[in-house]
Structure 1
Amino acid sequence: MASQPDDEQPEGLSARFFQKLASGVPGVLFTYWLSADHLSHRYPYVSDQVKELFGAEPQKLRENADSVFRVIHPDDTAGVGASILHSAQTLQAWCYRARLRMKNGEYQWYEAHSVPERQSDGSTLWYGQFHNIQHYKELEQHLRDSEAEFSFQAGFQKLIARLSSEFIHLGFGSIDDCIDELLKSIGAFFSVDRAYVYAFSPDLVTMTNTHEWCAPGVPSLMADQQAVPIDDFRWWQQQIRLMEAQSHVVFIEDTADLPSEAGNERALLEQQGVSSMFCVPVRIRGQVMGFFGVDSLSRRSWRRDMADLLIIVSGLLSGALERNRLEEDLLNQSIRDPLTGLHNRRYLMPRLDEILAASNRHGDRFCLAMFDIDHFKRINDNLGHLAGDQVLMRFTDVLLAHTRTTDVVSRFGGEEFLVVFTGVTEREVQTLVMRIMEAVREEEWLVDGKALTVTVSAGAVCVSELTDEPATPEALIARADDRLYQAKDGGRDCLVDASGLSRI
């Protein structure tokens, strides 16, 4: 068996004096011995603090060092052993950090420093000490966390600034693209599986998924989330009311923990694979119009301030949607007649250009019909302009009831209305116009309790007729207008088209 180092204390120092000296050191002083074959080890000397800190008996450690090695954290054990062997082989100073289990069962970080010395029998003896560095590790972790938090906050602010800039400079009609970019950016930043926007119906009876982003490999739910009835989701209805009243943020940390009254909600979320989610209300002009949300398909730890961060995103989204709504209102005001709600000339002319361009490219058929309410000035003069307004609005209703959504119905000016019938022939447009004239004649016109007889005259033209001149919106309207006046000269309550004058 290999010989072991002498246990005597350094020459000139009594054991009692050396123990007193060691007790003043903030750590554990030791000599550690490892046999040449690395099969046995012990502490020829170790200060008494080892018992106070770890519950290890110094006397037993002089025979075997195993009890100290048993308090090393399992994740650090292999590293400690490897570093000791490396120091023994190279005779380089042994310096290492590891977590040790204290007497109370708590692990704390310690750092060891020692110098190796080769013995005559090939064994190695280290002289050194190890001391507690828990405070420094906590400070190090705090600084690391602070740096990570600073980086996160800076990244979030940069992201919001970029999205804000995009929303500020978005052109009219590009709001959907901007929302899609927001969802993609927020979804990737927070590493969620889905990010989406839902809109409530005005009566809060249904909700519709209007925009959605999904992480790679995550299935989309958008197609199945259109006009979803919420009558059966009682718990969710309560959350909506809280959104309205208190700008409440819905946080479902684990769908399995939803209350019993949310059984339907839990079943739906589990069917969708959702494990946890956040939903934040989206307001437009002070009203909750829907919500912005993120889903996670697996259990995860959310930031404590996640709700606050998503509220910032929701505020950005709300502002962009409100601005877009205002722009839509302003545009509608500029292209719609304020009395009847029909499109006006500002809308009609570029729309006619588009229809005409499609006709030139693809041969699409269409016809124009211009209507004029007969003797409208007499109604205004005898009954007043309010009565005239009522007749205009009632005639608007007749037009809308007898035209299709693909047709363009507009108030051209005064009592004149223009309808663009798409995809029709000359014979077909005659039937459509006569049907409208008949509906006007059969309508019961009562204004302030007085019965009126109201008829209309019309002039119609089809794009296929313009073979002797360039087909332009102006040329088509001029031809329809000319035929309208022929109808009035022909006795009113009739239609003039390419075939001549027709009556019901």
Structure 2
Amino acid sequence: MHQDGQEVFRIIHPEDAASVAASIEESARKLTPWQHQARMRLASGDYHWFESDSVPERQADGSVLWYGQFNDIQPFKDLEFSLRESEAEFSFQAGFQKLIARLSSDFISRGFGNIDLSINRVLEAIGQFFEVDRAYLYRFSEKRTEMTNTHEWSRDGVESLIDTQQQVPIDTFAWWHRQVELMIRENRVVFIEDVAALPDEAGPEKALLTEQGVCSMFCVPVRTRGMVSGFFGVDSLSHRVWRTDQADLLIIVSGLLSGALERHRLEEELLNQSIRDPLTGLHNRRYFYPRLDEMIALWQREQQPFALAMFDIDHFKAINDTQGHLAGDYVLREFTGILLEQTRAMDVVARYGGEEFVVAFSATDPQAATAQVSRIIEKVRGYDFLFDGNKISVTVSAGVAGTGGEGAGNLTPEQLIGDADDRLYEAKQSGRDCFADISGPSRI
């Protein structure tokens, strides 16, 4: 039966119409069989995939007539789509597992002190894998009253927010505060599918996220020492359809970050145990010598002066023998407090051994250092050392050495400490409760 082909086009899916027309034109031009697949609308209004199978024949008037049929191939298409989805899902899962394995290996292989670089690599890799616009890590303050963005990756052209997200008070955002509480108490993931659809109570949060360009986001808790210490999150600046298992996948990433942070914490604890004195909390010789090497290198390179003072608590053995070792420990800790109070953060204070302490005064000439040493000695002399209600008489002696003089270009830590120790001996020989420098003993 001869019919106008437009009747067929009325039921072809709009997205397939162009390809159908092109295939028909080619079949008419070459008089080759017309075989094509397209979606066609059924009487119910649903679309099914059909396949044409027909042979063209040129008519006397120049038109073309096709003889053939349409076959419903929807069951085959369903199977094809299912197989494609399975293949794509398998490829995705394999890629994700490979990524996690690589990032885990990166954490393990990187030496101590590279935690920040490793976290930044994780955020970049995850951000690119999930095609988000930002990936970030926040840490809570000890009392969980503030949150700070410690690490962030942003896609090219996307504004970084890390500088504006430092020590942000959590309780200024009531709705978000409740989400954080749920995150902490129930280890719950926070998912905002559409920022524009946030409830009225989340007005401040909605305004801030809108200002930041965020359309949707995920936040997953991160744990250290078994407690939620922060969260890992990703932002999308455009509307998107997230995977149904997106939260589960991000929890795996969060677990990776949690493990790396916990390992870093343990490494820091071990390091501190090896470079800190357990009684006073001060650094020990293992830490002090490399810092002294750095000061010497800075002096030799840029002539930045520094000075070294060695302190010794006078008659400390007598304190232990008469008052007991607990009283001696008390004196050591109190003297530590005085040293830290009378020095700057840029100075290096260490317990050298027993009742001996050493201070490296950074960017300080020997004259200024002797003035500071004098103040420390005076502070100790006037300090009330009270243990179990009993006052303990405590004084200290000190020896001071510094940059300058002969051989300054060949300074070594051993030479400086030797000079300071020799002058400390001079101070003790001069009656204690004083200091000695290159000029000799000086009593305050």
- TM-score, normalized by the shorter chain, greater than 0.5: yes
* 1:190 matched residue in structure 2: 130
**Mean Cα displacement is larger for which, 265-274 or 332-341?**
265-274
| CA deviations over 1:1-35 (Å, ceiling 9, x no partner) | xxxxxxxxxxxxxxxxxxxxxxxxxxxxxx5x4xx
CA distance in 2, matches of 1:99, 1:166: 49
Question: Partner of 1:496 in structure 2?
Answer: 436
1:359 shift after superposition: 1.1
Superposed CA deviations along residues 120-162 of structure 1, whole A, max 9, x for unmatched, are 3333222111111111112111111111111111111111111
Cα deviations by residue, 1:441-466 (Å, 9 ceiling, x for unpaired): 12111000011221111110112135
CA apart distance, 1:350:
1.6
Verify: 1:276 aligned to 2:216, yes or no.
yes
- 1:90 is aligned, of 13, 30, 33, to 30
CA distance in 2, matches of 1:333, 1:97: 72
Q: 1:456 aligns with which of 387, 396, 402?
A: 396
Alpha-carbon displacement from aligned partner over 1:208-246 (angstroms, at most 9, x marks no partner):
111111101001111111111112112222222222222
The match for 2:281 is 341
Pick closer, same or farther for the CA change 1:300–1:91 going to 2, 3 Å. same
CA RMSD of aligned residues (A): 1.4
Shift of 1:322: 0.8
Residue 313 (structure 1) shift: 0.6
CA distance in 2, matches of 1:345, 1:389: 19
Provide the C-alpha distance between the structure 2 equivalents of 1:119 and 1:181, rounded to a whole number of angstroms: 68
Q: Is 2:262 aligned against 1:262?
A: no
Q: Which residue of the partner structure matches residue 160 of structure 2?
A: 220
**1:415 maps to 2:415:** no
Q: Which amino acid aligns with 2:306?
A: F
- Structure 2 unaligned residues grouped into runs of 5+: none
One of 229, 246, 265 as aligned partner of 1:289: 229
2:359 and 2:9 mapped to 1: Cα distance?
Answer: 93
CA distance in 1 between counterparts of 2:123 and 2:69 reads 56
Does the residue aligned with 1:75 lie in a helix, a strand or coil? Answer: coil
Aligned pairs (5 A) from 1:16-415: 31=1, 33=2, 42=3, 64=4, 66-415=6-355
SS at match of 1:358: helix
Instruction: Give the partner amino acid of 1:313.
Output: V
Q: Structure 1 stretch 237-246 or stretch 320-329: which is displaced more? A: 237-246
Q: C-alpha offsets along residues 308-353 of structure 1, whole Å, 9 cap, x if unaligned?
A: 1111111111111111111111000000000000000111112111
Is the contact between residue 366 and residue 403 of structure 2 (CA under 8 Å) also seen in structure 1? Answer: no
CA distance in 2: counterparts of 1:361 and 1:399, whole angstroms:
29
Q: Deviation of residue 283 (structure 1)?
A: 0.6
The reply on whether 1:447 has 2:392 as its aligned counterpart is no
Partner in structure 2 of residue 23 of structure 1: none
Separation in 2, partners of 1:195, 1:371: 50
How many pairs are equivalent? 444
Matched, 1:486 2:392: no
DSSP 3-state at the match of 2:171: coil
Change (3 A) 1:488 1:76: same
Shift of 1:103: 1.1
The AA in structure 2 aligned to 1:105 is G
Aligned residue type for 1:162: R
Q: Write the letter of the residue equivalent to 2:319.
A: I
Amino acid at match of 2:350: S
What one-letter code is carried by the residue in structure 2 that aligns with 1:424? T
Q: Counterparts of 2:5 and 2:30 in 1: how far apart (Å)?
A: 22
For residues 69-126 of structure 1, give each alpha carbon's deviation from its aligned partner in whole angstroms, at most 9, with x where no partner exists. Answer: 3111122223323322322222111112121111111111111111122233333222
1:405, distance to aligned residue in structure 2 (A): 0.6
AA aligned opposite 1:430 = T
Deviates more, 1:245-254 or 1:332-341: 245-254
How many angstroms does 1:469 deviate by? Answer: 8.8
User: Cα distance, 1:258 vs. partner?
Assistant: 1.6
Choose 1 or 2 for highest CA Rg.
1
1:46 corresponding residue in structure 2: none
Contact residue 365 and residue 403 of structure 2 kept, 8 A: no
Return the letter of the residue paired with 2:132.
V
Indicate which of 391, 405, 415 corresponds to 1:465.
Answer: 405
Point out where structure 1 has 5 or more consecutive residues left out of the alignment. 1-30, 34-41, 43-63
Q: Distance in 2 between matches of 1:466 and 1:212?
A: 51
CA–CA separation in structure 2 for the residues paired with 1:356 and 1:487: 25
AA aligned to 2:336 is T
CA distance in 1: counterparts of 2:285 and 2:298, whole angstroms:
20
